[in-house]
C-alpha cells in the first residue's frame, strides 16, 4: 500500500475496522502482525504508536519498519485470516489533541519570533517542545493565550498533498528537507507544517492548551505544554489542591499565595523569637552549672540544633569535658553527647551495647537512642567514662 494512503490517514477518526492479516512473525519477545490496511498509527513525527486490540489480542505498540507497519501483539494471528481491529481510542484521541495542540503552539511561536521547533516529545506526562531561539515565560503565556483564542474560534485543520511546484510557494515549517509526497497540515492564522501524524479536524476539539514551564535550553527555549483532556485533568488537580490549601488556611481560593506568604512570615518571626529565647535559656542554664567532668541534662521539646547549642556552650565555658543531653524517646531516651577531649566513638559503641542502643557519630559528637531507664543510662555512662580514664 502506498505510504500516506493508510486508513488512519484517510480517516483519522476510524476506531474499528477489519483487514486481512498478511504477515505474522516473532518480534522482540512478542509478535509483529502486518495487515493489508490499518487504522493503527505507527510511531513517528513525535507521536507515539497506537494501542488497542486485533481479534481481542492486545496491541502494545505500532511502528513502521522497512516500509511495513508492525502491530506489536501479545499473541500471533494467522496470515490470510481477517482481523478485527479496535483502537484504544482514549489514548489515540489524547495524542491527536496533544499533537494538534503542539502545531498551534509551535506555529504561533514561529509566526511571532520566526523560531523553528527543533525537538518535539509527547511524553506520558506532558508535551516537550524545543525552539531554536530565546523567549520568556511571559511571552510563552502570551502564546498560550493566543493558542486558546484559536481553539475558541474552532478553526479547521486542513490536510493537503501539494505538488512540488505548489510546495515551493508554501511557507511551511518542517524539520527536514522533504521530497516526494509531502503532507501539509494547515491551521488558519496559526500554522502550516509538513507532518505525518494524526490530528483533530477542528481546533475546538482540543478544548484547552496550558504552558507549564519555559526555560533556556541549548541556546534556545524548552517549553512543556499540555493540551486537551490532559490539560483539563492537570488544571482540575491543581484547582483541587489549591482548594484544600484555601480550606486549611481559611482564606479565599484566589488568595492562597498571599496567605501562605503571611503564614510563612509569621512562622519565621516565631523561629527568630524562639532562637532569642533559647540563647537566653542556654545562658541561664550554663551559668548555674558547676565545673565538673561530666554533665548530664534532660531537655524536652528541643530541636537537635538547640541541644547542640546548649552542649557546645557547656563545653566552650569549660563547665564539663563531656556533656550528655537526653530527651524522652520510644521505650527509652534519645541522646546527644558532645566531647572536648575523649574520642566519643569507642565510648558510644560500649554504651550502645550496654543500653540496647543505636547510633554513632564523630569524635566530638554522637547521637542516637538507648532503650533503657534513666538510672541504667547514668550508671553505664559513669562506668564507661571511669574505665576510659
Which residues contact Zn ion by CB under 5 A?
195, 197
Dihedral of alpha carbons 96, 119, 38, 1, sign: positive
Query: Of 91, 45, 95, whose CA–CA distance to 206 is shortest?
Result: 95
CB nearer Zn ion, residue 117 or residue 367: 117
SS (H, E, C) 191-227: EEEECCCCCCCEHHHHCCEEEEEEEEECCEEEEEEEE
Smallest separation, CB 217 to Zn ion (Å): 22
The DSSP annotation for 2-21 comes to -TT-SHHHH-TT--EEEEEE
CB nearer Zn ion, residue 62 or residue 352: 62
Whole-number Å distance between alpha carbons of 340 and 321: 5
Q: Pull the grid cell for residue 197.
A: 501524524
User: What does DSSP assign to residue 48?
Assistant: P
CB nearer Zn ion, residue 94 or residue 376: 94
Smallest separation, CB 143 to Zn ion (Å): 18
Indicate the pairing of strand 294-298 with strand 322-329: parallel
Smallest separation, CB 254 to Zn ion (Å): 37
Smallest separation, CB 100 to Zn ion (Å): 7
Smallest separation, CB 190 to Zn ion (Å): 12
CB nearer Zn ion, residue 150 or residue 313: 150
Smallest separation, CB 169 to Zn ion (Å): 21
Smallest separation, CB 235 to Zn ion (Å): 24
Whole-number Å distance between alpha carbons of 236 and 230: 10
Cα 97 to Cα 47, 137, 284, 301: the distances in Å are: 11, 23, 68, 55
Spatial contact of 193 and 174, defined as CB atoms under 8 Å apart: yes
Whole-number Å distance between alpha carbons of 52 and 30: 15
Residue nearest to Zn ion (CB): 195
CB nearer Zn ion, residue 97 or residue 369: 97
Smallest separation, CB 195 to Zn ion (Å): 3
CB nearer Zn ion, residue 160 or residue 353: 160
At residue 26, φ and ψ (nearest 5 deg) are -60, 140
Whole-number Å distance between alpha carbons of 63 and 355: 64
Amino acid at each position: 500500500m502506498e505510504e500516506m494512503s493508510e486508513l488512519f490517514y484517510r480517516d483519522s477518526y476510524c476506531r474499528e475496522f477489519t483487514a486481512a492479516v498478511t504477515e505474522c512473525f516473532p518480534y522482540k519477545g512478542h509478535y509483529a502482525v502486518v495487515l493489508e490496511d490499518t487504522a493503527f498509527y505507527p510511531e513517528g513525527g513525535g507521536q507515539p504508536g497506537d494501542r488497542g486490540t486485533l481479534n481481542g489480542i492486545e496491541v502494545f505498540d505500532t511502528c513502521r519498519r522497512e516500509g511495513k507497519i508492525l502491530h506489536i501483539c501479545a499473541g500471533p494471528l494467522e496470515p490470510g485470516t481477517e482481523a478485527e481491529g479496535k483502537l484504544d481510542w482514549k489514548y489515540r484521541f489524547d495524542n491527536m489533541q496533544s499533537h494538534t495542540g503542539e502545531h498551534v503552539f509551535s506555529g504561533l511561536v514561529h509566526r511571532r519570533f520566526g523560531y523553528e521547533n527543533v525537538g518535539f516529545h509527547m511524553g506520558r506526562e506532558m508535551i516537550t517542545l524545543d525552539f531554536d531561539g530565546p523567549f520568556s515565560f511571559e511571552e510563552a503565556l502570551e502564546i498560550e493565550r493566543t493558542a486558546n483564542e484559536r481553539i475558541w474560534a474552532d478553526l479547521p485543520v486542513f490536510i493537503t498533498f501539494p505538488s512540488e511546484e505548489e510546495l515551493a510557494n508554501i511557507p511551511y515549517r518542517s524539520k527536514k528537507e522533504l521530497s516526494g509526497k509531502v503532507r501539509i497540515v494547515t491551521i488558519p492564522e496559526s500554522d502550516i507544517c509538513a507532518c505525518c501524524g494524526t490530528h483533530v479536524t477542528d481546533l475546538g476539539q482540543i478544548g484547552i492548551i496550558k504552558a507549564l514551564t519555559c526555560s533556556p535550553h541549548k541556546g534556545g527555549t524548552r517549553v512543556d505544554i499540555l493540551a486537551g483532556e490532559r490539560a483539563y485533568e492537570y488544571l482540575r488537580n491543581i484547582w483541587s489542591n489549591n482548594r484544600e490549601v484555601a480550606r486549611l488556611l481559611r482564606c479565599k481560593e484566589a488568595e492562597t499565595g498571599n496567605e501562605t506568604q503571611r503564614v510563612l512570615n509569621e512562622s519565621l518571626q516565631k523561629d527568630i523569637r524562639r532562637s532569642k529565647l533559647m540563647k537566653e535559656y542556654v545562658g541561664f542554664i550554663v551559668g548555674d552549672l558547676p565545673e565538673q567532668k561530666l554533665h548530664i541534662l534532660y531537655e524536652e521539646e528541643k530541636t537537635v540544633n538547640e541541644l547542640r547549642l546548649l552542649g557546645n556552650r557547656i563545653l566552650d565555658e569549660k563547665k564539663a569535658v563531656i556533656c550528655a543531653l537526653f530527651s524522652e524517646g520510644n521505650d527509652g531516651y534519645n541522646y546527644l553527647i558532645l566531647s572536648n577531649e575523649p574520642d566519643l566513638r569507642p565510648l558510644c559503641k560500649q554504651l550502645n551495647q550496654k543500653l540496647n542502643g543505636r547510633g554513632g557519630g564523630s569524635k566530638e559528637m554522637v547521637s542516637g537512642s538507648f532503650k533503657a531507664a534513666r538510672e541504667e543510662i547514668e550508671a553505664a555512662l559513669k562506668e564507661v567514662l571511669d574505665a576510659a580514664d
